[in-house]
Structure 1
């Protein structure tokens, strides 16, 4: 500030941190004189009141001003005002006073809430703020989000990120909150610093430990609540009534609000002052609150009697049939005590809303409170917990189950609650205990709900597989067989067939496994009506993957994903995406599998499903490793962290990924050791199914070692499975493995390689075919048949290049050179190196479109466009959009030349 000053206006919503930033500036304004003031509503009608308080510390410096300015300024500061024609002179006098005060040391002038004080002070400070270029003076002003000062730079204070919100909470609590608690509070606080502080200060110890339900809004008596009440109190009474109706009417339907306003004796136009104050935006399509927190604080700040009256008005104008649930919820909000009839109505309305699970859960919680019989209340709480989990809210579901456990001793209800608790453990907690919980729940409900017991056993089987305790699947299979009946409904038969098929597969009885699993796949394709659920489709897809009908498994998983999205069943969406990603891996669609896993990871993290998130991270690590993308693979492994238990699926996937990276770098012994440790064959411990998937890599690593019993044993397991399927890809991989373990240069090795190439499907699995061609080329070259090797190495090199697998393309190039052929880098037109979607994106970039424009034209998210563009750059070996334009210009030139 020694050469010149400046000014900045900070504006934002109440609680956005404006005052805190000024306090920070005061604290660190070293070697500066600080003048600090604040606009006070109580003095808003007193001209120059704010200026008088601001300048009082340097009033003695008025002696440095010329006599006319000194006289005029003293009159204004003494409360005698300023004639309208002398306001310019007064503003110049204030500027001169600040310049005099800054002669020895720089000056920091701050005025908080500029818009809340008197207008005359605001006008003078705006004048001064525009004329600081040659003075060592800095002016910091703060105001509401709607305020501006012409000619002064402004900075809008936006909401904090989730990470920063969690940091604010952690700083205010006695110990760091549980992760789900912090995430929920961060959303409730809306990124508003004061809201987060108020929430943290109001939490009970049970709430911040995650043992009690969390508040849905910041406390009305907190600092933010008081700020909003003061802001609302400045509005006319009719405006406040209309704001409250708009805040409570979450349907945001203009007709509903208009009818409620008419019933209340007000008009929608009464919202004009609230719109001018920046609280809402009134449009033909409805009333929009500029921040979600504003809606919550308007409702929370209103007296209870007014809220209940507004709820009753809204209930009266809602249609009893078309808006049944919202009407019942408004009636419930206006009711004190118990009301059995209203509780029944809430329950009937809630179960009729199949997609808004969160709202239905809230309604059922309220119905439980209104119930006059404990058994009814318990049933409603249980359904509310299940709906909360379906909506992807595991914390709320878990807390409702805890509340149910404390109030209900009914064994039947407890069994159903344990089934839900076991599923939560499987997806969100330490999955090692989930199997026991689910097995116990299955035993409890078996006598009253056999279909639910079978479903519990299927979940228990999934839990033992996830944890790496496959030896326990025998018990799951035995108990499911006891529950099976000849004429079970299709969904029940499907689930029983899956369990029976997986149990037979894990004990190596593929003759029995195959028919059972194929039956599950067939039944999955026939589901309809109430039996058509994402859960049932996911079971059928899982069966398809185990029996290696990849196309059918992919269709079923895709259908499960679509249905889960359509119905809002977020708890199942991540699992369905996991199955789709595995199917895409086997179909050779690695890029699609990675995109699916990224989608699944986002869903899992948003819904608190830690175990599902780690599976997706493991799959992403494997997919990156298979493409020899070391950096991405290791980054995904680091994201998994140390949480997964050794032997669990995420742990095994991470080990598989590391082993593939070892293999790509020529560390064959390390790769073989890692892959052999994924499961302990014959004991049922470890990840048997993951090791089966990884067996081709284990054999490839072991082929370079003299001692390889683990690979031989794993291949025997893989062979028995592959031979029991109708999958050409699995049989091709089996033949390739046998070729690698055959003596080098032998007729057996060549015969098995040629069998593998004959079996590789042409419509899928091009990456694996290219890997077989590379390995066959290596075998032929090392057997001193370089001429024969070149054909396969060329084919492998071209496929890897087209797929963007640059590391494997480099290996093929190195093998070609070793085979006596002089080859340079791949010289393919850009269009041949890209997938169809990548090519379209690249063409649009070359035409000058931005990522946002491309996303709009192709109906994609900008995140997806960014991802594809990074892959385009990687495949073409370029680093910028300019180079991309040049590459496509070259392609067009080459194309024209060839046409001529």
Structure 2
């Protein structure tokens, strides 16, 4: 258990429980609360917090003791012992009943309620002069008679100045009183706790790994912080596989297990080590030593595990790990051997159990582990097998290969922390192409894209003599890192090296990688005559990749190539295939990038809502797989999508999430600045918008986010043209690129840009606007077409041709309203009124008027939820819900819950 000395640490992440305790202490009437959770979750710390917050209250403390579990009312005796003098004032019958129970006598079943009434009377008498706080820790460990009596008393405390706080390890040792389950801390809370515990705090990636290792358990994190070496704390050495067995949490689990019968302990250990999906494995292993699953009943009653038709499950994330960590070595070896010999166990599990008891290097067993890892589809099992194979391998080079293979599996499966940890287990001299390729990939997507360039180029050099496919993949990833950081001028080196690796008769995927790198290099230097055909060849090769699930890496390149030559439909299809392939193969490390490309394709296709949905999915995947750099890119895309639709609140919220974590000049930073520029444009700050968008890249130098600025150029031209500016260089780049494509939408945008820069009211402007409207695809470009109609209508109205302007403005307004772009619809309506047309104002939807939390609360109210139910569901106080709801009513202009429900319906 966590002791009171660690109360400040354990209270991280316990804001709701602390608030519930404070409310209970503040109310005039009495009340009770139960906090339950696994060892180390902070139960005792919460009781210590309550005693500190109790002020001048009288305090009674108690705790359930396993040694006294067989002694009826032992816990009650220890709780009431300091105030037993108050029992003298009880009626004779109650006094005798209480004395009999507390001195070891039995309490007849028909007298149990009377005994509870006597206990209540003692507490009431004690609270006569000042309010009373009773805290009872681990009520489930002590005698059941005390637990039952306290439950009866807890339900009858109204109108008494008595507060009763109980803790337990199982969900419901007492019934009928409010309960709080102590959940694992989230990653942010884990980082804060680790920073509290040791100075300086660990690096972010180490904190994330420790949060996962500790399962969000406060005591586990505390034990780890105390046990790690300085090198481990800084991420320079591998982390342990579990919290220390000799820490406070290990002691708590050891004590819990020691209270169980020997046969139960043996079965619990077997269950903890048996990760096979077939419950028959455990049954067979137990039967071979004369045990049955019935022996697990005491452990289930203690809340350690659960049994069911599907087998044994452990309700707390750390239980399985800690049971193994504290087991004696002899018992651990015996359990592994039992499971290895169980009937029906699969080859992977059988080999892993055998390997767990190996004393030293075993080349034959290592080869067997590698073989089963290659055959299995279970990624976690493959990682464990390859890692153990490396540990059992004699030759250092072969051991390094197996450890790198394990790390590659971990990275592909979306666990960069484990991949880094496995790479740190390599000898210092173990480097080379495969290691650098993996390290560079992790740097690119998780840590520092700028540092990834050198790592990946070194990997390409090392791999080129033996594996051209992997060397080209390293070059493509280096090129991606260059584009993310904005140093596009460096791509020439990537293209040169890729051209040198090109061979005749290469397989399609190898040709695709080489052609992609050289095609991107030509495009970035403005040589579209060479780059365009090369990238279109990549799109064709991507479409020809055979098999039900070709590798996502080649499909990602093909999708990116499609975007660069503006074949949006093909790019969207290829990105969708890359997403499906990454999922089918379990290569989660590439999934955020594939989703990024699909979102960009959907942006160009005018499917903004779908693009936002894709980017939100990409953000979730990137965050869940530790890809901070990828998450920032998706936040940037979401910011741009919101800004383009004039959704200021959402755009600013996404930009705030990026914060200062994005390096200046990087792709996420450029997306954020693009979004801010569009918001400036929407608000009429044209000079600010133009300056912000022009600074995205330095045209002609290859520095800055050239590709992002190309996407933002239509907004840059619109902003600059309003004040007579002429961003000639940026428009020349966009126009040159658009004319090199066969895309009507890009050529339409280029024509619109030329129209905006043409002399006002002249024939050239009208001709270019009409060219743009003719080129805009009617089926896939409705938003940009509506924007062109709006800008053309504005041009005609300002040229004193209001009648001609109205038709365009009407079409723009109608399209915007159908697309849900309400602010742009309002803008078109304003122009129509200025052109002499009478149109009503557009009512803005709740999504644009409310914050995300306010909208969530409003929808719950519309579903009929009460404020109390909303508070419980959203982990808020009722007062906070009331405050948000008042703001919702004010912003939406409604006066009742009924009106709100009608509006949201």
CA pair 351-883 structure 1, distance change in 2 beyond 3 A: farther
* 1:329 equivalent in alignment to 2:352: yes
By how many angstroms is 1:67 displaced? 5.6
Larger mean CA deviation between 232-241 and 724-733 belongs to 232-241
CA pair 228-404 structure 1, distance change in 2 beyond 3 A: closer
Take 1:877 and 1:787, find their aligned partners in 2: how far apart are those partners? 36
1:540 maps to what in 2?
Answer: 558
Take 1:622 and 1:40, find their aligned partners in 2: how far apart are those partners? 60
Question: Which residue of 711, 722, 731 corresponds with 1:693?
Answer: 711
Give the conservation status (yes or no) of the 8 Å contact 1:319–1:327: no
Give the conservation status (yes or no) of the 8 Å contact 2:147–2:173: no
Take 2:325 and 2:860, find their aligned partners in 1: how far apart are those partners? 49
By how many angstroms is 1:161 displaced? 3.0
2:501 maps to what in 1?
Answer: 483
Per-residue Cα deviation, 1:103-151 (whole angstroms, up to 9, x for no partner): 2211112222223223443344344334332332222222331443344
Per-residue Cα deviation, 1:522-579 (whole angstroms, up to 9, x for no partner): 1111112599201110011111111111111110100001111111111100111111
By how many angstroms is 1:5 displaced? 2.1
Q: Secondary structure at the match of 1:264?
A: coil
Alignment TM-score, normalising by the size of structure 2: 0.88
Take 1:846 and 1:160, find their aligned partners in 2: how far apart are those partners? 29
Q: Secondary structure at the match of 2:199?
A: coil
CA pair 110-723 structure 1, distance change in 2 beyond 3 A: same
2:60 maps to what in 1?
Answer: 35
Give the conservation status (yes or no) of the 8 Å contact 1:671–1:698: yes
Take 2:792 and 2:112, find their aligned partners in 1: how far apart are those partners? 91
Per-residue Cα deviation, 1:386-426 (whole angstroms, up to 9, x for no partner): 22211222222223333325153xxxx52221122222221
1:802 maps to what in 2?
Answer: 818
Give the conservation status (yes or no) of the 8 Å contact 1:318–1:327: no
Take 1:886 and 1:85, find their aligned partners in 2: how far apart are those partners? 55
2:601 maps to what in 1?
Answer: 583
Take 2:365 and 2:675, find their aligned partners in 1: how far apart are those partners? 56
Give the conservation status (yes or no) of the 8 Å contact 2:73–2:145: yes
Unpaired runs of 5+ in structure 1? 834-843, 851-872, 890-900
Cα RMSD for the two superposed structures: 2.9
Aligned length: 845
Question: Which residue of 168, 182, 189 corresponds with 2:207?
Answer: 182
Give the conservation status (yes or no) of the 8 Å contact 2:223–2:247: yes
Q: Secondary structure at the match of 2:425?
A: helix
Unpaired runs of 5+ in structure 2? 1-24, 849-858, 866-887
Give the conservation status (yes or no) of the 8 Å contact 2:861–2:901: yes
* 1:202 equivalent in alignment to 2:230: no
By how many angstroms is 1:35 displaced? 1.2
Take 2:596 and 2:218, find their aligned partners in 1: how far apart are those partners? 37
Question: Which residue of 718, 730, 733 corresponds with 2:746?
Answer: 730
Larger mean CA deviation between 19-28 and 64-73 belongs to 64-73
By how many angstroms is 1:19 displaced? 1.5
Give the conservation status (yes or no) of the 8 Å contact 2:639–2:654: yes
CA pair 515-120 structure 1, distance change in 2 beyond 3 A: closer
Per-residue Cα deviation, 1:617-669 (whole angstroms, up to 9, x for no partner): 11111111101111111111111112322221111111111111111111111
1:231 maps to what in 2?
Answer: 256
By how many angstroms is 1:888 displaced? 9.8
Q: How does 1:306-385 map to 2 (within 5 A)?
A: 306-317=331-342, 323-354=346-377, 356-385=378-407
By how many angstroms is 1:331 displaced? 1.5
Q: How does 1:217-296 map to 2 (within 5 A)?
A: 217-296=242-321
2:460 maps to what in 1?
Answer: 442
* 1:132 equivalent in alignment to 2:132: no
CA pair 57-826 structure 1, distance change in 2 beyond 3 A: closer
Q: How does 1:387-536 map to 2 (within 5 A)?
A: 387-408=409-430, 413-529=431-547, 532-536=550-554
1:669 maps to what in 2?
Answer: 687
CA pair 238-667 structure 1, distance change in 2 beyond 3 A: same
CA pair 91-697 structure 1, distance change in 2 beyond 3 A: closer
CA pair 12-437 structure 1, distance change in 2 beyond 3 A: closer
CA pair 556-877 structure 1, distance change in 2 beyond 3 A: farther
By how many angstroms is 1:361 displaced? 2.2
Give the conservation status (yes or no) of the 8 Å contact 2:281–2:344: no
Give the conservation status (yes or no) of the 8 Å contact 2:210–2:221: yes
Per-residue Cα deviation, 1:222-281 (whole angstroms, up to 9, x for no partner): 323222233233333333322222221212312322322233332233333333333333
Per-residue Cα deviation, 1:816-865 (whole angstroms, up to 9, x for no partner): 0111101113599x9xx9xxxxxxxxxx9999799xxxxxxxxxxxxxxx
CA pair 70-877 structure 1, distance change in 2 beyond 3 A: closer
Give the conservation status (yes or no) of the 8 Å contact 1:454–1:483: yes
CA pair 782-536 structure 1, distance change in 2 beyond 3 A: same
Give the conservation status (yes or no) of the 8 Å contact 1:211–1:399: no
Take 2:367 and 2:453, find their aligned partners in 1: how far apart are those partners? 35
Q: Secondary structure at the match of 2:466?
A: coil
Take 1:85 and 1:481, find their aligned partners in 2: how far apart are those partners? 92
By how many angstroms is 1:92 displaced? 4.2
Larger mean CA deviation between 805-814 and 283-292 belongs to 283-292
Give the conservation status (yes or no) of the 8 Å contact 1:498–1:543: yes
By how many angstroms is 1:814 displaced? 0.6
By how many angstroms is 1:80 displaced? 6.4
CA pair 31-118 structure 1, distance change in 2 beyond 3 A: same
Take 2:459 and 2:843, find their aligned partners in 1: how far apart are those partners? 62
